Amino acid sequence: METIDSVKQISSEIRNSLLKEGASLVGFADIRPIPSEARQSMDHAISIGVALNPAIIRRVGLNGPTREYSYDKVRANSLANYLCEFGTKLLTDRGYKAVPLLADDHKKVDKQTVSAPFQHKTAATRAGLGWIGKSALLVTEEYGSALRLSTILTDAVLECGTPIEISKCGECQECTNACPAKAINGTLWDIAKSKEDILKGRNHLINLTNCSRYYSKTNEMLGIVAPARVCGICIAACPKTKRYIGEK
Protein backbone atom coordinates (compact mmCIF):
# COMPACT_ATOMS: atom_id res chain seq x y z
CA MET A 1 0.00 0.00 0.00
CA GLU A 2 1.35 3.41 -0.98
CA THR A 3 2.39 5.85 1.74
CA ILE A 4 1.56 9.56 1.60
CA ASP A 5 5.19 10.28 0.73
CA SER A 6 5.26 7.71 -2.08
CA VAL A 7 2.01 9.10 -3.53
CA LYS A 8 3.45 12.61 -3.48
CA GLN A 9 6.69 11.40 -5.03
CA ILE A 10 5.15 9.53 -7.96
CA SER A 11 2.70 12.40 -8.57
CA SER A 12 5.52 14.94 -8.57
CA GLU A 13 7.68 12.82 -10.86
CA ILE A 14 4.89 12.35 -13.40
CA ARG A 15 3.78 15.99 -13.33
CA ASN A 16 7.31 17.36 -13.70
CA SER A 17 8.19 14.88 -16.46
CA LEU A 18 5.08 15.77 -18.48
CA LEU A 19 5.62 19.51 -18.03
CA LYS A 20 9.25 19.13 -19.08
CA GLU A 21 8.12 17.31 -22.24
CA GLY A 22 5.80 20.16 -23.21
CA ALA A 23 2.51 19.86 -21.31
CA SER A 24 0.84 23.16 -20.43
CA LEU A 25 -1.30 21.72 -17.62
CA VAL A 26 -1.24 18.42 -15.72
CA GLY A 27 -3.81 17.30 -13.16
CA PHE A 28 -4.65 14.13 -11.25
CA ALA A 29 -8.23 12.99 -10.69
CA ASP A 30 -10.07 10.50 -8.53
CA ILE A 31 -12.52 9.00 -11.03
CA ARG A 32 -14.12 6.34 -8.83
CA PRO A 33 -17.53 8.10 -8.96
CA ILE A 34 -17.57 7.43 -12.74
CA PRO A 35 -19.16 4.12 -13.84
CA SER A 36 -16.52 1.37 -13.79
CA GLU A 37 -17.04 0.39 -17.43
CA ALA A 38 -16.41 3.94 -18.68
CA ARG A 39 -13.18 4.26 -16.69
CA GLN A 40 -12.06 0.73 -17.60
CA SER A 41 -11.99 -0.21 -13.90
CA MET A 42 -9.22 2.31 -13.18
CA ASP A 43 -9.52 4.54 -10.10
CA HIS A 44 -7.45 7.54 -11.17
CA ALA A 45 -6.80 9.65 -14.24
CA ILE A 46 -4.11 12.01 -15.41
CA SER A 47 -5.42 14.99 -17.38
CA ILE A 48 -2.94 16.53 -19.82
CA GLY A 49 -3.53 19.91 -21.45
CA VAL A 50 -1.65 21.42 -24.40
CA ALA A 51 -2.27 25.09 -25.11
CA LEU A 52 -3.17 26.31 -28.58
CA ASN A 53 -1.09 29.07 -30.18
CA PRO A 54 -2.34 32.41 -28.78
CA ALA A 55 -1.60 34.37 -31.97
CA ILE A 56 -3.65 31.93 -34.05
CA ILE A 57 -6.57 32.03 -31.61
CA ARG A 58 -6.41 35.83 -31.68
CA ARG A 59 -6.79 35.78 -35.47
CA VAL A 60 -9.75 33.39 -35.23
CA GLY A 61 -11.41 35.95 -32.96
CA LEU A 62 -10.81 38.67 -35.54
CA ASN A 63 -11.42 36.80 -38.81
CA GLY A 64 -13.28 33.58 -38.00
CA PRO A 65 -12.15 29.99 -38.68
CA THR A 66 -8.85 29.56 -40.53
CA ARG A 67 -6.76 26.76 -41.96
CA GLU A 68 -3.87 27.70 -39.68
CA TYR A 69 -6.18 27.02 -36.72
CA SER A 70 -6.83 23.53 -38.09
CA TYR A 71 -3.07 22.99 -38.40
CA ASP A 72 -2.52 24.18 -34.84
CA LYS A 73 -5.16 21.76 -33.57
CA VAL A 74 -3.24 18.96 -35.29
CA ARG A 75 0.00 20.18 -33.67
CA ALA A 76 -1.54 20.38 -30.21
CA ASN A 77 -3.28 17.01 -30.61
CA SER A 78 -0.02 15.41 -31.71
CA LEU A 79 1.80 16.75 -28.66
CA ALA A 80 -1.06 15.76 -26.35
CA ASN A 81 -0.96 12.24 -27.82
CA TYR A 82 2.81 12.01 -27.41
CA LEU A 83 2.52 13.12 -23.79
CA CYS A 84 -0.25 10.60 -23.22
CA GLU A 85 1.91 7.75 -24.52
CA PHE A 86 4.96 9.10 -22.66
CA GLY A 87 3.06 9.26 -19.36
CA THR A 88 1.61 5.81 -19.92
CA LYS A 89 5.12 4.38 -20.30
CA LEU A 90 6.27 6.16 -17.13
CA LEU A 91 3.53 4.35 -15.24
CA THR A 92 3.88 0.92 -16.82
CA ASP A 93 7.66 1.01 -16.31
CA ARG A 94 6.90 1.40 -12.60
CA GLY A 95 4.57 -1.59 -12.61
CA TYR A 96 1.24 0.24 -12.79
CA LYS A 97 -1.58 -0.33 -15.23
CA ALA A 98 -2.24 2.58 -17.56
CA VAL A 99 -4.59 3.18 -20.48
CA PRO A 100 -3.91 6.10 -22.87
CA LEU A 101 -6.92 8.02 -24.19
CA LEU A 102 -5.67 10.06 -27.11
CA ALA A 103 -6.76 13.59 -27.96
CA ASP A 104 -8.09 12.81 -31.41
CA ASP A 105 -9.38 9.23 -31.24
CA HIS A 106 -12.49 9.79 -33.39
CA LYS A 107 -13.29 6.07 -33.46
CA LYS A 108 -14.55 6.24 -29.89
CA VAL A 109 -16.67 9.37 -30.34
CA ASP A 110 -20.45 9.03 -30.50
CA LYS A 111 -21.48 10.91 -33.66
CA GLN A 112 -24.84 11.88 -32.16
CA THR A 113 -23.55 13.40 -28.92
CA VAL A 114 -19.97 14.18 -30.08
CA SER A 115 -18.70 12.56 -26.88
CA ALA A 116 -16.68 9.51 -25.89
CA PRO A 117 -17.42 6.86 -23.21
CA PHE A 118 -14.90 8.63 -20.96
CA GLN A 119 -14.48 12.32 -21.73
CA HIS A 120 -11.23 14.22 -21.37
CA LYS A 121 -13.25 17.04 -19.81
CA THR A 122 -14.40 14.71 -17.03
CA ALA A 123 -10.81 13.97 -16.01
CA ALA A 124 -9.92 17.67 -16.21
CA THR A 125 -12.82 18.90 -14.07
CA ARG A 126 -12.30 16.14 -11.52
CA ALA A 127 -8.60 17.07 -11.39
CA GLY A 128 -9.58 20.65 -10.61
CA LEU A 129 -8.09 22.09 -13.80
CA GLY A 130 -11.27 23.89 -14.83
CA TRP A 131 -15.00 23.75 -15.39
CA ILE A 132 -17.32 23.24 -18.34
CA GLY A 133 -18.29 26.50 -20.00
CA LYS A 134 -21.54 27.43 -21.72
CA SER A 135 -19.84 26.37 -24.97
CA ALA A 136 -19.53 22.81 -23.53
CA LEU A 137 -15.74 23.21 -23.61
CA LEU A 138 -13.37 23.03 -20.67
CA VAL A 139 -12.55 26.50 -19.33
CA THR A 140 -9.33 27.00 -17.35
CA GLU A 141 -8.04 30.05 -15.52
CA GLU A 142 -4.69 29.88 -17.31
CA TYR A 143 -5.69 29.25 -20.93
CA GLY A 144 -9.44 29.68 -21.13
CA SER A 145 -10.71 27.11 -23.63
CA ALA A 146 -7.61 27.25 -25.83
CA LEU A 147 -6.46 23.74 -24.93
CA ARG A 148 -6.35 20.27 -26.39
CA LEU A 149 -6.64 17.39 -23.93
CA SER A 150 -5.54 13.80 -23.54
CA THR A 151 -6.05 11.46 -20.60
CA ILE A 152 -4.38 8.49 -18.95
CA LEU A 153 -6.46 6.07 -16.89
CA THR A 154 -4.41 4.27 -14.25
CA ASP A 155 -4.47 2.17 -11.10
CA ALA A 156 -1.64 4.25 -9.61
CA VAL A 157 -2.66 6.16 -6.48
CA LEU A 158 -2.04 9.84 -7.17
CA GLU A 159 -2.25 13.14 -5.32
CA CYS A 160 -5.57 14.27 -6.77
CA GLY A 161 -6.91 17.77 -7.15
CA THR A 162 -10.23 19.01 -5.80
CA PRO A 163 -13.01 18.39 -8.34
CA ILE A 164 -14.76 21.41 -9.82
CA GLU A 165 -18.46 20.67 -10.19
CA ILE A 166 -19.93 24.17 -10.48
CA SER A 167 -19.59 26.53 -13.44
CA LYS A 168 -17.68 29.76 -12.91
CA CYS A 169 -19.11 31.41 -16.02
CA GLY A 170 -21.76 33.32 -14.08
CA GLU A 171 -23.77 35.71 -16.26
CA CYS A 172 -21.14 35.90 -19.00
CA GLN A 173 -22.60 35.34 -22.48
CA GLU A 174 -19.57 36.14 -24.65
CA CYS A 175 -19.35 32.73 -26.34
CA THR A 176 -23.14 32.57 -26.72
CA ASN A 177 -23.26 35.94 -28.46
CA ALA A 178 -20.23 35.22 -30.64
CA CYS A 179 -21.43 31.87 -32.01
CA PRO A 180 -22.43 32.37 -35.69
CA ALA A 181 -24.43 29.12 -35.64
CA LYS A 182 -26.51 30.19 -32.62
CA ALA A 183 -25.62 26.77 -31.24
CA ILE A 184 -24.84 27.79 -27.65
CA ASN A 185 -27.89 27.86 -25.39
CA GLY A 186 -26.35 30.25 -22.86
CA THR A 187 -27.10 28.05 -19.86
CA LEU A 188 -24.76 27.15 -17.03
CA TRP A 189 -23.15 23.73 -16.83
CA ASP A 190 -25.14 21.42 -14.59
CA ILE A 191 -23.24 18.26 -13.67
CA ALA A 192 -26.46 16.34 -12.96
CA LYS A 193 -27.81 17.24 -16.41
CA SER A 194 -24.49 16.26 -17.97
CA LYS A 195 -24.89 12.76 -16.54
CA GLU A 196 -28.42 12.63 -18.00
CA ASP A 197 -27.07 13.82 -21.36
CA ILE A 198 -24.83 10.76 -21.60
CA LEU A 199 -27.78 8.45 -21.00
CA LYS A 200 -30.18 10.28 -23.30
CA GLY A 201 -27.81 11.15 -26.16
CA ARG A 202 -28.04 14.92 -25.91
CA ASN A 203 -26.17 17.99 -24.69
CA HIS A 204 -27.98 20.53 -22.48
CA LEU A 205 -25.46 23.28 -23.26
CA ILE A 206 -25.38 23.39 -27.04
CA ASN A 207 -27.49 22.61 -30.09
CA LEU A 208 -25.35 19.91 -31.65
CA THR A 209 -27.18 20.04 -34.98
CA ASN A 210 -26.51 23.75 -35.46
CA CYS A 211 -22.91 23.32 -34.36
CA SER A 212 -22.30 20.41 -36.75
CA ARG A 213 -23.89 22.25 -39.68
CA TYR A 214 -21.59 25.21 -39.17
CA TYR A 215 -18.57 22.94 -38.85
CA SER A 216 -19.51 21.29 -42.14
CA LYS A 217 -19.90 24.66 -43.81
CA THR A 218 -16.53 25.97 -42.62
CA ASN A 219 -14.79 22.69 -43.39
CA GLU A 220 -16.06 22.85 -46.97
CA MET A 221 -15.13 26.50 -47.30
CA LEU A 222 -11.59 25.87 -46.01
CA GLY A 223 -11.13 22.56 -47.82
CA ILE A 224 -10.76 20.58 -44.61
CA VAL A 225 -11.66 16.89 -44.63
CA ALA A 226 -13.74 15.22 -41.89
CA PRO A 227 -13.45 14.06 -39.13
CA ALA A 228 -11.53 17.28 -38.47
CA ARG A 229 -13.81 20.04 -37.17
CA VAL A 230 -12.75 23.66 -37.42
CA CYS A 231 -14.31 26.76 -35.92
CA GLY A 232 -12.79 28.11 -32.68
CA ILE A 233 -14.94 31.24 -32.45
CA CYS A 234 -16.34 30.35 -29.02
CA ILE A 235 -12.81 29.60 -27.79
CA ALA A 236 -11.56 33.01 -28.89
CA ALA A 237 -14.59 34.78 -27.38
CA CYS A 238 -14.11 33.44 -23.85
CA PRO A 239 -12.78 36.15 -21.47
CA LYS A 240 -10.39 33.62 -19.91
CA THR A 241 -9.01 32.84 -23.37
CA LYS A 242 -8.74 36.55 -24.16
CA ARG A 243 -6.57 37.05 -21.10
CA TYR A 244 -4.30 34.21 -22.28
CA ILE A 245 -3.97 35.57 -25.84
CA GLY A 246 -3.27 39.08 -24.60
CA GLU A 247 -6.66 40.71 -25.06
CA LYS A 248 -8.77 42.26 -22.33
Q: Please write the tens of the pLDDT for every residue from 54-67.
A: 999 999 999 999 99
Query: What is residue 30's predicted lDDT score, i.e. its pLDDT?
Result: 98
- Which residues face 147 on adjacent strands? 51
Q: List the Cα angle 116/117/120 in 5-degree steps.
A: 60
Query: What is residue 191's predicted lDDT score, i.e. its pLDDT?
Result: 82
- Which residues face 231 on adjacent strands? none
Helix (H) or strand (E) holding 6: helix 4-20
Residue 179 is part of which domain span? Answer: 4-244
Query: What is residue 202's predicted lDDT score, i.e. its pLDDT?
Result: 64
When divided into structural domains, the chain yields a total of: 1
Total number of residues shown for the chain: 248
**Helix (H/G/I), strand (E/B), else coil: 133:** coil
The list of the chain residues with pLDDT below 70 reads 1, 106-116, 195-202, 226-227, 248
Q: Contact at 8 Å (CB) between 121 and 132?
A: yes
Q: Whole-angstrom Cα distance, residue 93 to residue 160? A: 21
Indicate the pairing of strand 98-101 with strand 138-139.
Answer: unpaired
Query: What is residue 248's predicted lDDT score, i.e. its pLDDT?
Result: 62
Query: What is residue 109's predicted lDDT score, i.e. its pLDDT?
Result: 52
Query: What is residue 204's predicted lDDT score, i.e. its pLDDT?
Result: 86
Strands, sheet with 25-30, edge to edge from the N-terminal-most edge strand: 25-30, 44-51, 147-154, 98-101
Q: What is the pTM of this model?
A: 0.92
Q: Whole-angstrom Cα distance, residue 103 to residue 50? A: 10
